[in-house]
A and B are shown apart, each in its own frame.
Chain A
Amino acid sequence: MTGAVYALIALGLTLIYGVLHIINFAHGALLTAAMFAAFFAHKLLGLDPYIAAFFLTPLFFLLGYGLQRFIIGPAAHGEDRNVLLVTLGLAIVIQNALLYVFRADTRTVDLPYAFDVIDVGPASLAVPRVIAFIAVFAVALVLWLIMRRTDTGKAIRAVAKERLGAELSGIEVEHIYAVTFGLGTACLAIAACLLIPTYYVNPHVGDAFVLVSFTIVVLGGMGSVAGALIGGIFIGVVESLSGFYLGESLGQISIFVTFILVLLFRPAGLFGART
């Protein structure tokens, strides 16, 4: 079940990688920012996180669009190494600005239904997790439709395949890059709203997710949407099992070890072709 949310976070990352060919190191920090936004939407405005998702998603789309268009794009001068450093710099700024403003306190949201369960056959499932599971697949479907059925989606795929060719046929590459980055960031806003009912938020919460989502993306094959979904669920299972057998603090190690092993032996991912 956690795997589904991991998959959503990874979906945003893989989308950005697939089109811009960059690894977005600010992904975890942006997730933290989204979780704070969802937290305060509930606390100050009394918005239910699931309703807040409908407001936060467009907001984070715009944020992502602006970041790519006005900060990452111009600052990087088109060099991969610079993109690495700029997104790392953004991650540091966002995370520590949150730390500075909100301190290291851990906060949680109290919702009446957070501990409700429904019975499905022999298993009892927590309601927020079932909602998360369904929502993730809905988002994946919507994303897929955007990519397949709209002109913007077509343009995104064109830029991903052949940047120069797309530019020559009149597609505004910088705009498409920013749209893609916005879509990836919007995924984070949804993930944050799905997480907040059962999870906590503090300025470092994104860290726990960011390497996990890198692992998923690498596992599923960089830029592959289906790979991100399957990889996400796989990692969710690995984490639950190792947490169960190795204990809380060492349980995390299994993810990093999986990550290193995949990078070393199948850098193109389990489903990707080796180049």
Chain B
Amino acid sequence: MKGVAPILGAVALLGLAPLVTSSNVVLNFLILVLLIALVGQGWNLLGGYGGQYSFGHAAFFGTGAYVTAILQTSYGINAWVGFCIGIVAGALIGAATGALSFRSGLKGSYFALVTLAFAEVLRIIASAAPITGAGVGTLIALDLRPGAFQFQSRAPFYWIILSLVAASLMIVRAIEESRFGAYLVALRENEDAAQALGVNTTAIKTIAMTISAAITAAGGCFYAQYFLFIDAGIAYGPWISIEALLAPIVGGVGTVFGPLLGSLVVKTLGELGKIAAGDAPGLDLVVYGCILILVVAVAPRGIAGILADRHRLPSPKASRRTSLERNNG
């Protein structure tokens, strides 16, 4: 398969980080970058390749996190098993919400709204139901054994999240090459035309949402194990839905490396903002919001788009014409 070498190269390079530095601050930062890259890659599959913009990926992230945590605290199930079940649970939520929404023909803004509503319903349930610890949250007991998916140092966590990101890169790359990926891109570009050519768009979108949810849920499961604490606002809160879409949009929607690239840039800018103005609540999100507007305004195809344009500079005249055509179309 083409395109595997860059993935392996990037992952190998990133894998060296814990050997170069043992600073917890740096590793913690890189772990968060990779976590958002993973969650964003889930969003990218559905939003970037399929053109279905979800504003509620928190639903999958939170389900993964809660299932992992609750299986351990309430049922005494091994963390690694809980991790796998968490991913499956997230995928099931994705399949269910996807089937419901797409069967009803929701697209565009309506789809964004309904995903947002699903995430909010789950958040309210989680903040009231006894099994999630309601408002108090869920705390996973400290048990520093690899068998319990807990480690003394941050390096193992780093390699685990890196391998999850690597797996997500490979999955998306494989989908890009596959017939399924071609269907997905086709329906993004023109759903009616894809349908007319015999693509079962509802089924394709639902499958894409299921895989997308599974990838994002893996991020949630990892979050629960890494921080050992979640509550309804963390797991199902809007912040993660925003991070999930921001990373791929900044990096370049519908590209394999977009979410990773975007996550790195967004997180770095967020940290710089904190250094510049002190760590105050809300400030990092103000920075994110500005980045989002600027990227959409100036570089709608993200960093990947800028890099691609540098290879073949289009004349300003040509680009103006296409924008006119789009307006009239």
Which residues of A are in contact with B by a Cβ distance under 8 Å? 22-23, 25, 71, 74-82, 84-86, 88-93, 95-100, 103-104, 164, 203, 211, 214, 218, 249-250, 252-253, 256-257, 259-260, 263-265, 267
Decide: B121 and A96 in contact? CB cutoff 8 A.
Answer: no
User: Other CB < 8 Å A-B pairs besides A80-B108, A82-B296, 5 of them?
Assistant: A81-B53, A85-B249, A98-B282, A100-B282, A211-B120
Q: Which residues of chain B in 271-292 are interfacial with respect to chain A, using CB atoms and an 8 Å cutoff?
A: 280-283, 285-286, 288-292
Contact of A93 with B293 in the complex, beta carbons under 8 Å: yes
**For the complex, what is the distance from the CA of A90 to the CA of B288, rounded to whole Å?**
10
Stretch at the interface among B64-72, B97-105, B138-146: B97-105
CA gap between A98 and B113 in the complex, in Å: 24
Give the residues in chain B near A256, CB-CB below 8 Å: 117, 120-121, 124
B120–A250 contact, CB under 8 A? no
A-chain residues with CB within 8 Å of residue B249 when the two chains form the complex = 85
A78 to chain B, nearest CB (A): 5
Q: B43-58 toward A: CB 8 Å interface, digit per residue (1/0)?
A: 0000000010101000
Main DSSP-derived SS at the A contact region:
helix
A-B contact pairs, 10 of them (CB 8 A): A75-B293, A85-B296, A89-B296, A92-B286, A93-B290, A99-B282, A100-B283, A250-B128, A263-B113, A267-B106
| A85 contacts across to B, CB distance below 8 A | 53, 245, 249, 292-293, 296
Given contacts A84-B109, A256-B120, contact A89 B281 (CB under 8 A): no
Q: Hey, which bits of chain B sit against chain A, CB under 8 A?
A: 51, 53, 55, 100-101, 104-106, 108-110, 112-114, 116-118, 120-121, 124-125, 127-128, 242, 245, 249, 280-283, 285-286, 288-293, 296-297, 300, 323, 326-328
> What is the CA–CA distance of A84 and B245 in the complex, to the nearest angstrom?
12
Given the complex of chains A and B, what is the CA–CA distance between A99 and B281 in angstroms? 7
Q: Which of A81, A88, A253, A265 contacts B121 (CB 8 A)?
A: A253
CA distance A76 to B55 in the complex (A): 18
Residues of A within 8 A of B104 (CB): 263-265, 267
Given contacts A77-B323, A263-B117, contact A100 B128 (CB under 8 A): no
User: What residues of A have a CB within 8 angstroms of the CB of B127 in the complex?
Assistant: 249
Bound Cα distance A54, B232 (Å): 40
Report yes or no: A260 in contact with B121, Cβ–Cβ below 8 A: yes
C-alpha gap A257/B124 in the complex (Å): 11
Instruction: Decide if B297 touches A267 in the complex (CB within 8 Å).
Output: no
Complex CA distance for A256 and B121, rounded to whole angstroms: 6
Which residues of the other chain, B, contact A250 by a CB distance below 8 angstroms? Answer: 124, 128
Provide the residues of chain A in CB contact with B110, threshold 8 Å.
218, 263, 267
CB of B326 within 8 A of CB of A90, answer no
Residues A249 and B128 in contact in the complex (CB < 8 Å), given A77-B323, A256-B117? yes
In the complex, what residues of B have CB within 8 A of residue A91's CB?
289
